[in-house]
Amino acid sequence: MTDSKNVSMIGLGVMGGPIARHIARAGHRLTIYSRGPQRLDSWRAAHPDLTITTASSPAEAAEGADMVITCVGNDDDLAEVVLGPQGAFSTLKPESIFVDHTTVSARIARQIAVEARDLRVHCVDAPMTGSQIGAENGTLTLMCGGRANAIEAARPVLSAYAQRIVHVGKAGAGQSCKMANQICIAGAIAGVAEALRLAQAAHLDLDKVFEAISHGAAQSWQLDNRWQTMAQDSFDFGFAVDWMRKDLGLALDEGRGLGLSLPISGLVDQFFADVQALGGGRQDTSALVRRLPRKGHK
């Protein structure tokens, strides 16, 4: 690579870990930090072929970096690793780039953008869609909020793991777009779950039903990828119910702030709460089907 950069990755979860791998294999000089030392050690053990540096804090990770990327859990986690006493912004140099992939509130994304402006740091809020599979394959879609020049500065690194990078608006707009994305997913998976249970109760051949409905107006990613696994009661993959409830909570809060009612999102959020009560909080969102009685199909 002719334009390799010093890139620091903060967060090595199911999304951040594969992203870090793609960055290193694209030829960038990578520093990694995780709040869980075991996760960091596991990542290093899984990638013995990669030359990387480890950091003991976000501040250490950011020192000297051309670009810092975060992918953590929620607003509080992000505030800690970015704005805290040992946060990345305590050492990040002027004219460097900061990109956040965490799904958080638009409020904290805007707050971080203000702090970045004062430090003369290019800032992008860039939540993702494409699931863990997209992270592993380097085919994510990024919904980016911030200034156009910040996004263009980040693009050479982002392109290592994202096939689509869309500038949707000013600071915080990426997070608002992700909320819209999650609303669509929640509605789609709820519809697929009910359709599956109806087909089962009517004693239909599920493969034939899928063949008939998957190429018309009912087609969706959820139908294509979760119809068969839901029919098999397989939920040990993908995006967890707990995380979807967090994301829908962000969307519902944002809607209230905008004076907007989101009744379908509120209803599906409660359906996911039912799945949590069944012990399915860490299962894939397609576990939503568990709350519907299974009748008639053998």
Q: Do 17 and 130 share a domain, yes or no? A: yes
CATH number at residue 260: 1.10.1040.10
Question: Are 23 and 101 members of one domain?
Answer: yes
pLDDT of residue 298: 46
**Structural domain contains residue 297:** no
Q: Is the pLDDT of residue 163 over 50?
A: yes
Taking residues 200-224, what's their average pLDDT? 97
Band of pLDDT at residue 237, cut at 50, 70 and 90? confident
| Residue 10 pLDDT exceeds 50 | yes
Phi, psi of 159 (to 5 degrees): -65, -15
- Integer Cα distance of 216 and 233 in angstroms: 25
Do 219 and 76 share a structural domain? no
Q: What's the chain's length in residues?
A: 298
Q: For residues 167 and 180, state if they share a domain.
A: no
> Which one of 140, 171, 202 terminates a domain?
171
**51 & 143 share domain:** yes
Q: Percent of the chain beyond pLDDT 90?
A: 94
**13-59 pLDDT per residue, tens:** 999 999 999 999 999 999 999 998 899 999 999 999 999 999 999 99
CB 160 within 8 A of CB 140: no
**Residue 141 DSSP one-character state:** E
Mean pLDDT across the stretch 260-265?
97
| Single-letter amino acid code for the residue at 80 | E
Q: Are 266 and 242 in contact (CB under 8 A)?
A: no
Tell me, yes or no, if 178 is annotated catalytic.
yes
Q: Give residue 296's pLDDT.
A: 55
Q: Are residues 199 and 138 in the same domain?
A: no
One domain for residues 35 and 138: yes
- Is pLDDT above 70 for 209? yes
Under 8 Å between Cβ of 253 and 265: no
Out of 155, 171, 187, a domain closes at: 171
**pLDDT computed for residue 1 by the predictor:** 45
Q: Is residue 92 part of a domain?
A: yes
How do residues 77-105 score in pLDDT, each as one tens digit?
Answer: 999 999 999 999 999 999 999 999 999 99
| pLDDT interval class at 229 (50, 70, 90) | very high
When mean pLDDT is compared across 33-37, 101-105, 191-195, 293-297, the lowest value belongs to: 293-297
| Mean pLDDT score, 143-169 | 98
Is 260 part of a structural domain of the chain?
A: yes
Q: Are 112 and 137 in contact (CB under 8 A)?
A: no
Task: Specify the amino acid at residue 68.
Answer: V
pLDDT at residue 297 is higher than 60: no
298 occurs within a structural domain: no
Indicate whether 71 and 195 sit together in one domain. Answer: no
High-pLDDT (> 70) share of the chain, %: 98
- Dihedral of CA atoms 257, 263, 269, 275 in degrees, nearest 10, equals 170
- Domain end, chosen from 115, 138, 171, is at 171
- Kindly name the residue from 93, 170, 178, 298 that is annotated as catalytic: 178
Q: Which domain holds residue 12?
A: 6-171
Is the Cβ–Cβ distance between 39 and 18 less than 8 Å? no
**Interior angle at CA 295, CA 290 and CA 296, nearest 5:** 140
Q: pTM for this structure?
A: 0.93
Neighbouring residues of 132: CB distance < 8 A, sequence distance ≥ 6: 14, 15, 18, 237, 238, 239
Position of tokens 């839901």? 230
At 125-153, the pLDDT tens digits run 999 999 889 999 999 999 999 999 999 99
Q: Could you identify the residue written with the tokens 């290019």? A: 122
The token pair at 78 is: 């992000």
Structure tokens given for 280: 């399915």
